[in-house]
Structure 1
């Protein structure tokens, strides 16, 4: 049990830092009026987003996710020798 006493000071400092940051965070946060927040949300939802309205051909096949492994194209050996 004596061997773990060296952990006590860092644990106390960590707990005190967590409490201090928690207290500091409460002071810095101002409350937003609910009506103002709803108005901001409505404006954000009605805004046109470029990703949603981008013109272009729609892909019928979903793009394969990269796994980081290189895969050679399939084909017979004769096709590869002639190329």
Structure 2
């Protein structure tokens, strides 16, 4: 049990850092006015969507999950 005591300081530092970062992140997020948010969403929806790369249609997989050897022709 004593050998695991070396893990306590890094665990405490990591926990304190996570709490500190999460607390700082909360302050940066102010509430946006409802009308401003609606206006932004409307502007985003009015913008035209660009056509992106269309992938070619895939061929269906012929695998049945069972390995089958090709039959031999008798000579």
TM-score, with normalisation over the residues of structure 2?
0.64
Query: Deviating runs (4+, > 3 A) in structure 1?
Result: none
1:11 to partner: Cα distance = 0.4
Q: Which runs of 5+ in 2 are unaligned?
A: 60-75
1:63 to partner: Cα distance = 4.9
- 3-state SS of 1:35 partner: helix
Instruction: Tell me what 1:37 maps to.
Output: 37
Alignment map for 1:40-55 (pairs within 5 Å)? 40-51=40-51
- 3-state SS of 1:32 partner: coil
Q: Which runs of 5+ in 1 are unaligned?
A: 53-57, 65-83
- 3-state SS of 2:32 partner: coil
Kindly provide the CA deviation profile for residues 18-64 of structure 1, in whole angstroms up to 9, marking residues without a partner as x. 11101111122221112211211111111112227xxxxx98x6156
Query: Following the alignment from structure 1 to structure 2, what is the Cα–Cα distance between the partners of residues 18 and 32?
Result: 26
TM-score, with normalisation over the residues of structure 1?
0.58
Query: Following the alignment from structure 2 to structure 1, what is the Cα–Cα distance between the partners of residues 15 and 33?
Result: 33
Instruction: Tell me what 2:71 maps to.
Output: none
